Amino acid sequence: MTTNALARVAFREAGRATVCEILYGPNVLKHAVIDAEAFEGEVVTFSGMPLPTDCRPPAGRRRGEQVGVVPEKLIDSHGVFAYAGIAAERIALRNGLFAPVDLDVELSWSRWYGAARRGREELARIAKLIGLERPSEQFYSEYCEEAERLLGPVWRTVEELAEALLEKHELMGHHIDRLVHGPEVIEQPGPMI
C-alpha cells in the first residue's frame, strides 16, 4: 500500500529527475531511488557537478579547448535542480494528487523552509566551490518557481516517473532518459571507475 508520505517522496524525486534531464540532458543521471521505510529519496548524477547544456561548448569545438563557463549560470542551474523536488510536490498538491490538505498552509513558502534543507546545503556547498555565495540559511523561492515553470509542460512525465518509482523504488538513469527524451535517446556508457 502506498502512503501519502511515500507518494510525496516519489513526486519529489520524479521532479528532481525530470529537471535534471531538462537542464543537463541525457546520460547525466545515474539513478533515482526512494526508500519506502525511511520515506526518503535521492537523485544521483554521474558527476557531482554536472555542466548544464547551455554552459557546454558549441558543437565542433575541439576537446581540450578552453570554454568559459559563467559561474552564476552554473550555480543557478544547480539551484533549480536542488529545489525541483519541492516544486514537483507543490504542483502535485495543487493538482489534488495527495490526501486532502489545507492548500493555503501547504503552499506557503514558510512551510517549505525545512523541506529545502538538503537542497540549500548542497547549493551552498557548490557555490562555495566556484567562489560564489548562496547561504544555506536562505530559502530561494525563485529557484523553486523556475523549477515549477520547467515542470509544467512535462507534468505527465513527472507523474509517470513517480508511478514507476512507487512501483520499483529505483529507476536507472537510462530508463529516465528514455521516459523524458523518448526512445531514440542514445545511451552512452557510464564513466570508468
- Number of domains the chain is built from: 1
Q: Examine residue 98 and state whether it is found in any structural domain, yes or no.
A: yes
Q: Examine residue 190 and state whether it is found in any structural domain, yes or no.
A: no
Whole-number Å distance between alpha carbons of 76 and 54: 12
Give pLDDT, residue 18: 96
Q: Examine residue 66 and state whether it is found in any structural domain, yes or no.
A: no
Q: Which of 186, 176, 129 is nearest to 154 (CA)?
A: 176
CATH code: domain of residue 96: 1.20.58.760
pLDDT band at 164 (very low <50, low <70, confident <90, very high): very high
Give pLDDT, residue 57: 61
Per the listing, cell 490538505 goes with 101
Domain with 93, as residue range(s), is: 4-48+71-181
Whole-number Å distance between alpha carbons of 98 and 94: 9
pLDDT digits (tens, 9 = 90+) for 44-100: 888 776 777 766 666 665 555 555 667 888 889 989 999 999 999 999 999 999 888
Q: Examine residue 65 and state whether it is found in any structural domain, yes or no.
A: no
Average pLDDT, the chain: 85
